[in-house]
Structure 1
Amino acid sequence: MGELAGELMALFADGFRRTLQVARARRRRAAGGPARIPCSARADGPGPRGAYVAGRLRLAPGAPSAAFTARGRARVELAAGGTFHAPEPDTWYDQDWAATAYRAPGAAHAVHLQVDSRLLPLLHAVLGAPGTPQNV
């Protein structure tokens, strides 16, 4: 019985933590401040498909790019003004996380991003080119 209670506590705590992260990111962006979005990313390119790396996407107001940072990994800059594309269907590992492929302007390959589905519109607004239709 204790195991079941522990699993339920972890489930509810994770949902509550995600809700707080979404609210904080939305509030900071609405106030014009920087925001960090919990995110997983993997680069698309030649060779075998890599695994997703968990990290954070750092969004600064008025910045021409967003930075993906993960522990023990090099910082990856994603230039704003690119296009979003629907990734392959097997990239959805969790129903709460939305996957999308982002191709920065001038980039040879797309970067696949997974974010909380409630933060996907914020990601599109920050990285997408203003006034251009997105292919999602």
Structure 2
Amino acid sequence: MGEFIGELIALFADGFHRRWHVARTRRRLAAGRPVRIPCSARSGPRPEYVNGSLHITPGARAAAFRARGTDRLDLPAGGTFHEPEPDTWHSQDWAATAYLPPGAEQPVHLQVDSRYLPMVHVALADPRSRQVA
């Protein structure tokens, strides 16, 4: 029974913390300040998903995915979004999207908590926009 209660406490604490972080991220983007969004990414040179964060600066021409032990992956803004195949997802708990940067041949697969996904779409599709969705 104690194990079950411990799991419930962790679940509720994570939910509260995530809601707080999403609200803080929205406020920072609306104010024109840079943010980091927890994210997993997979691209051509990376055959598997890597956990890291997406660094977004409002108005910048690119966002950057950074993870420990890997090179920085720049994602130029102005590309298109596509729905990835469900069997390519890293985590079924996070929303997945495939981003095809302008001039690229292969998309970058991104997975973020679904509450962050609209912010990622706005930041990469129209970097001059301060709309936070």
TM tier, smaller: 0.7 to 0.9
Aligned residue type for 1:68: F
Q: Contact 2:49–2:90 at 8 Å: present in 1 too? A: no
Aligned residue type for 1:11: L
Instruction: Summarize the alignment of residues 73-84 of structure 1 with structure 2, pairs less than 5 Å apart.
Output: 73-84=70-81
User: In the TM superposition, what whole-angstrom CA distance separates every residue of 1:55-93 from its partner, at most 9, and x where no partner exists?
Assistant: 110001211000001111111100000000000012163
Residue ranges of structure 1 left out of the alignment (5+ in a row): 131-136
Q: Which runs of 4+ in 1 moved over 6 A?
A: none
- Name the CA distance, whole Å, in 1 between partners of 2:91 and 2:59: 32
Partner of 2:131: none
User: In the TM superposition, what whole-angstrom CA distance separates every residue of 1:22-69 from its partner, at most 9, and x where no partner exists?
Assistant: 111101001111111111111147xxx822111110001211000001
CA RMSD in angstroms comes to 1.7
2:123 to 122, 126, 130: 126
Q: Percent identity?
A: 63
Q: Secondary structure at the match of 2:116?
A: helix
Relative to the length of structure 2, the TM-score reads 0.86
1:50 to 40, 47, 50: 47
Relative to the length of structure 1, the TM-score reads 0.85
Name the CA shift for 1:23/1:60 in 2 (closer, same or farther; >3 Å). same
